[in-house]
Every structure is written in C-alpha cells, then in structure tokens.
Amino acid sequence: MNEERYILFDQYLQGEMTADEKTAFEKQLSENLELAAELETFKEMHLQLENKFQHEQEREAFRENLTKISDKHFNKTKPKVVLLKPWYYVAAASAAVLFGLFFFNYNQNPVFSDYNNPEHAAFTERSTADETLKEAEIFYNKKKYNKAIPFFETILQKNKTPEIQFFYGVSLLEESNFVKAEAVFNELKSGNSVYKEKAVWYLALSKLKQKDYKGCKEILQTISQDYEDYDEVELLLDQLD
C-alpha cells in the first residue's frame, strides 16, 4: 500500500470526497478486489491504533517514534504525516512496516488478553446437576464471572471436584482475584487430575495478567511438552524472550 492510497482511504473514510469522487471510488472498489482488501486492512489498522492510543499524547509519541525508526532502519525520507488526520499518520509506512514497528515499539511484552481463551463449561450435559451448578455454568459461559463465583463456592462446600475447582479458579482470575485464583491452581497443580497441567498454565497466565513476566516465564518452563496446548506455551515463551 502506498502513501497516495492511504490518503485516498483517509479522505473516503472521513467523508471528504465530493459525491462524484465517492461514486467513482466506490466503483473502483467494486471492480478491484485488491483495492477493496487494502481498504479493509487500512480500517483495521485504524481500529488497532484507536484501541491502543486513547490520548493525543500517546498518538503523538507514536508518530514521532515511527518517523525516527523509519529514518533509521529504512533510509527513507520522513513520512508526510502532516497530510493526515491524527489517526492516519501511519500513511507514510507500508502495512508490513507499520505493524512491525507498531508491535516492536509499543507491544514488546505479551498481554493476558492474547492468551485468555476460557474453555466452555458443560457440567449439566454430563449430569443431572442441581440448580446451583446450572446457574454457575450459565453465568460462567456468559462471562459473568462475578456472578458465577458465589455459585461455585457453594458447590465446592459439598462437592470439591477438580473440574469445579478449575472453573472456579478461572472465574477468580477473570475477576483479577489473583490470591484466591493462584491458591486454587496451586492445589490442582499438586494433584493428579486432568486439570494439573491446565492449572500450571493458568498460574502462568495469572502472572502475565499481573505483568510479572519473569514469574510467568519461570512457570511456563515447568510445563511438560506433553501438555495438549503446548504450542501456546511455546508461543508465549518466545514472546517473553
């Protein structure tokens, strides 16, 4: 994607085209699938930046850093960022360069949300569960963890199974109740249930959510390569290096 196209996309999305220009451009989009795909990529980059930088100072810092690094590593003239709206000063870089610089400079460390994929709970499918367990399952699967937690706690008082403990621990972690969550996962870790390795993985995720990258890495290194999702472990370890 070149700078001229970025500017064209900017004008289109900002509603700055005349009626004739807009009609002509949309005709191009309908006839040129590559152009249409590039527009979608541009819109995605805009959303990425909008989510990443909530304040003007952050956007300005990114703009300045992008200019410096582009000059240093790619031996190009400074991006013509002044031509664009604040969200679109990425126009001077190609899509590949933009994403490379963006993540290298502002996202060096992995984040919890990248690896947070809670599995679906299905207690009631395998048993004639009581109403408390059904409520726990419903709230958990709706990601209403704060409401699921008290139901799990009630269940665990009379039926302390590794499965219920695990989903309880996940709920606690989702609510950033790290002390209780880690206590649950450590107990599962010391046992021999099918949730043993999963518990270790979630202990690592707990450290990741707290931005304790050293602790996260140390825990990840204890996970067996036989763990079913070891590819995720390797990926996270690579990002932590």
What is the CATH number for 198?
A: 1.25.40.10
Q: What is the mean pLDDT of the chain?
A: 79
The residue from 55, 84, 108 where one domain ends is: 108
Same domain for 79 and 168, yes or no, is no
Same domain for 23 and 125, yes or no, is no
Q: What is the pLDDT of residues 151-208, one digit of tens each?
A: 999 999 998 999 999 999 999 999 999 999 999 999 999 999 999 999 999 999 999 9
In the chain, what percentage of residues exceed pLDDT 90?
A: 47
Same domain for 160 and 96, yes or no, is no
Same domain for 139 and 198, yes or no, is yes
The residue from 89, 108, 127 where one domain ends is: 108
What pLDDT sits at residue 2?
53
Angle at 94 between CA 57 and CA 86, to 5 degrees: 25
**Does 149 have pLDDT greater than 50?**
yes
Angle at 4 between CA 2 and CA 10, to 5 degrees: 105
CA distances from 11 to 39, 50, 235 (A): 12, 17, 39
Mean pLDDT of 15-23: 85
Same domain for 193 and 219, yes or no, is yes
**Does 29 have pLDDT greater than 60?**
yes
The secondary element (H helix, E strand) that includes residue 40 is helix 33-52
Q: What is the pTM of this model?
A: 0.57
Same domain for 84 and 120, yes or no, is no
**Does 14 have pLDDT greater than 90?**
no
What pLDDT sits at residue 200?
97
What torsion do the CA atoms of 222, 228, 231, 235 make, to the nearest 10 degrees? -50
Same domain for 27 and 98, yes or no, is yes
**Does 85 have pLDDT greater than 70?**
no
Same domain for 139 and 234, yes or no, is yes
Q: Identify the residue with better confidence: 76 or 43.
A: 43
Domain enclosing residue 90, as ranges: 3-108
Distance (Å, rounded) from C-alpha 58 to C-alpha 52? 9
Distance (Å, rounded) from C-alpha 4 to C-alpha 72? 23
DSSP, collapsed to helix, strand or coil, labels residue 209 as helix
Mean pLDDT comparison of 22-31, 45-54, 123-132, 153-162, highest-scoring range:
153-162
pLDDT-wise least confident of 27-31, 35-39, 55-59, 109-113: 55-59
Same domain for 154 and 230, yes or no, is yes
What pLDDT sits at residue 64?
59
Q: Identify the residue with better confidence: 49 or 232.
A: 232
Residue 121 in tokens: 């709970």
Same domain for 126 and 18, yes or no, is no
The residue from 84, 108, 132 where one domain ends is: 108
Same domain for 147 and 104, yes or no, is no
Number of compact structural domains in the chain: 2
Q: Identify the residue with better confidence: 105 or 217.
A: 217
Same domain for 159 and 190, yes or no, is yes
pLDDT-wise least confident of 14-18, 68-72, 165-169: 68-72
Q: Identify the residue with better confidence: 16 or 122.
A: 122
